[in-house]
A and B are shown apart, each in its own frame.
Chain A
Amino acid sequence: MSSYQTTNGTSPASKPGRYRRFDPNSKVLIGPLLITPIQILLLVLLVFPFMLEFFVSLTEWQPIYGDIWTALGQVFTEPIYQGINYNYLVTDEPRYLSALGRTLSISVLSLCLEFLIGLGMATIFLKSFYGKRIFFTALLTPMMIMPVVVGYTWYMLFQYNGPINQVIGWISGDAAGSGGVEWLNSATPAFFAVVVTEVWHWTPLFFLILLSGLNSIPANPLRAATVLGASNAKIFWTIMLPNMKGVIIIAFVIRGMEVIKLFDEVVLLTKGGPGTSTETISVYLYKLAFLDFRIAYAGAAAFIVLIITVVLINLMLKPIRYQLLEAR
C-alpha cells in the first residue's frame, strides 16, 4: 500500500508490520504534502515562463521569425546575440531611459503627495467631527473606481474646454475658451495632469493605511506624553510618527510597486503624449511589445524594470526587515 516512512516511532500507527501505515500526525510529511501542489503550480505558471522570457530577452526573436525554440538555441550557439538588447537599451535608447526616469519621478512625486495628503486627512480623522462617516465613505471611493474610468474622467476634466480650465477662468477672470492651459497637449502640464490623476486615485489608500496605523498606536503613551507637558505637535513628531514607521513603509511599498506599473490612466489621458512626454515605462513596453511586436526587446526592458523594482522595494523594506522577519 504505502511506503511512507514516519519518523514518529512512538506512534501506535507505526508499529512494525508488513506495511507501514500512513501516520496522519507525522509532521515530516504533512508540510511538504500540503505545499507541493501549489509549488508545482507556481513552477508551471511563474518560474517556467519567467525563465523562458529571460532567455528570449537575450535574443532578437520576434513572432514573425517563427519557432521560439530555435531562437532560444541561438542564445547558446551564437554568442553575438547574448545581451544585445540590454546593451542597446542602456546605451543607445534615450526613449527607454527617459521613460524609466519619468516613471520614477512620477512615482516619487505622486507617492510623496499621496503620503502627505493621506497623513493630513488621517490626522483630521483622529478627532470626531460632524459628518465624519459620510466623509470617510466619500474619501475612500476614488480607489474603488476602475483605473480606466478614473483616466477617462480626468481626460474629460482636463479638456481645453473642460471644467478645470473653466474654474481657472473664473478665478483669473479670463473668458471661457481663452487663456486656459493645454493640459493634455503640452509636455509639462500633461506630466502634472498624470500626477494629479494618480494622486486623486490613490491618496485614499494611503489615507486608509495611515489612519489604521494612527489608530493602532496605543493611547497611553500619548496620554503620558500629554501629562509630561508635550504639545500635540511634539507628540506627533516624537511618538506618533516613529510608531508609524512600519505602516508608512508598508504603504510606500504597496503603492510603490503599483505606481511603477502606471498604465491605464496615462493611456486614457495622453497615450504617452504629446510625443513621448508622458510615456511611462509600462506604456513604452506596451507599444514595444504589442504594437511593434519586438517581444525579446520588450522582455529585456521589462527585466531591467523588474530588477530596479526589486532592489528599490527591498531598500525600502530594509528599516523594518528585522522586525518583519523576527520569529514570534
Chain B
Amino acid sequence: MSNIKLEIINLRKEYGDLVAVDDLSLSVEQGETMALLGPSGCGKSTTLNMIVGLEQPTSGDILIDGKSVINTPSGKRNVGLVFQDYAVFTNMTVEKNLAYGLRVRKEPKDKIASEVLRVADFMCLSDKIDRKPSELSASELQRVAIGRTLVTNPDILLLDEPLSNLEADDRNRMRRELRSIQAETGQTVIYVTHDQIEALSLAHRIAVMNFGHLMQYDTAENVYQHPQNKFVGSFLGNPPMNFVKGVLRKEGDRIFIQNGDSSLPVPTDIGSKIENNSGLIAGFRPETLTVTSNEEDFSFSAEVLAVEPQGPESVVTAKFGDTQVKVVVPSESESATDGNKLNLMPNFDLLALFDPDSGMRLMKHGG
C-alpha cells in the first residue's frame, strides 16, 4: 500500500539482559495520528527513540515511505521529535529556535525567514519572536518546541508525553490545539503517552504496550471497547474493566460463570462455544452495566459495599462472589446505597472472556 507512512517490522531492543522492546510490528498510515500507550517502562519511549534514530534497534527494521531508515542517521530521517520537557534551546531567542532546523540544513536565508514567520504565526508566537525561553510560559515553550520541528516539514511528527508537563488548564487547550494542528497540516503524528484519556481523545489508532510487548493495536474505539487481553482492559478506563474469575457451567440451557456462591449469566451464543467447566475470566466495563429493578434472565446481583459520588455519576463498589466489581450509575439512583443488593445487567456485546492463564481474549471481537 502506498499510503503507509511508517512501518515497524519485528523491532527488538535489548539493553544487556533487559529486553526493552520485543518483536514490535505495526504500521501507521499517512495523515494518521497514532498513540503509543503504556505504563512507564513499557518500551514506548525506546520505540520512539528508535524511530527518530536516537537509539539503534538490536534487530528488526523501520521503514518510512517504504524505505528502511535503520542506517540513516537521525538528522537525515526527516522526522520531528518534541520532547516532554520541550528541550528548547535556552541560549537562543524564539526566532533562533524556530530557525535552527533550517539553518543546520543550510537553507537560503530568505526561505528561513519566511518559514519562521509562517510557523510563528501558525503557532501564535509572532509577538514573542524576540523573547528568550526563560520569559515564556510552559505552553508557549511547548509551542516553540512543536514549531521548531514543524519548520523542517517532517514526514512524521513524534511527540513524547506532550501534555504531561502542563497545568490542567493548558493541557486541555493544548490538546485541542494539537488536534487542530494535525487537522490543518495533515501531519502523520505519533504520540507517546501513559495517559489513556490523552490517547483516546487524540489518536485515531492506539498501540498499547506493556513490558516491551505490543498488547493491542487498533482504533481508539476498539482498544477501549474490545480489549484483546486483560492488560488492555485494565489499563484503559477509569475505573478500569471489571474482571470476574470463575468456571463456566452449563446446566440445561442455562450457561453461567460460577464464582463462589454467585453466578454471572452468559448468553448461549457466546457460552456454547466454550467447553463446560473450563476456567475463565469475564471482563466488562463499569459503565456497561445497567441497574435493573427486577431479576431478569441475564442479570446478576451484587451487594453494594461503597458509593463514591463523582458529580453526575457515582462509582459503586459491589461484592460479587469473592471479587469486587465497580459499577457506574447515575447519581440519582436510589438503589445504590450501602448494603443494598443491586440487580445488574451487563451489555453482552461488550462482555469479554479471557483465558485465566494467558490473559488473552478467548474469542476475538466479531469472531
Measured between beta carbons, the chain B residues less than 8 angstroms from A227 are 52-54, 74-75, 79-81, 149
Contact with B along A190-217 (1 / 0, CB 8 A): 0000000000000000000000000000
> Does B87 contact A221, Cβ atoms closer than 8 Å?
yes
* A218-B87 contact in complex given A224-B81, A226-B75, A230-B100, C-beta closer than 8 Å: yes
Total count of chain B residues near the partner, CB < 8 A? 25
Contact with B along A212-247 (1 / 0, CB 8 A): 000000101101111111110010001100110100
A226 to B53, CA, bound (A): 9
A160 to B87, CA, bound (A): 56
* A220-B85 contact in complex given A228-B148, A228-B149, A242-B91, C-beta closer than 8 Å: yes
Partner of B54, one of A221, A223, A243: A223
A238 to B103, CA, bound (A): 11
> Does B87 contact A231, Cβ atoms closer than 8 Å?
no
Does residue B83 face the partner (Cβ distance < 8 Å to A)? yes
> Does A225 contact B54, Cβ atoms closer than 8 Å?
no
A238 to B105, CA, bound (A): 14
**Residues 104 to 123 of chain B near chain A (Cβ within 8 Å):** 104-105
> Does B90 contact A221, Cβ atoms closer than 8 Å?
yes
> Does A225 contact B104, Cβ atoms closer than 8 Å?
yes
Place the interface of chain A in its size category.
10 to 19
Measured between beta carbons, the chain A residues less than 8 angstroms from B76 are 229
* Residue among A227, A231, A239 facing the most chain B CB atoms (10 A cut-off): A227
A321 to B148, CA, bound (A): 30
| A226 vs chain B, min Cβ distance (A) | 5
Contact with A along B145-157 (1 / 0, CB 8 A): 1001100100000
A141 to B74, CA, bound (A): 39
Measured between beta carbons, the chain B residues less than 8 angstroms from A243 are 90-91
Measured between beta carbons, the chain A residues less than 8 angstroms from B101 are 228-229
A interface with B by C-beta (< 8 Å): 218, 220-221, 223-231, 234, 238-239, 242-243, 245
Besides the known contacts A224-B83, A224-B148, 8 further A-B residue pairs in the complex with CB atoms under 8 A apart = A223-B83, A224-B87, A224-B89, A227-B75, A227-B149, A229-B105, A230-B100, A243-B90
B interface with A by C-beta (< 8 Å): 52-54, 74-76, 79-81, 83, 85, 87-92, 100-101, 104-105, 145, 148-149, 152
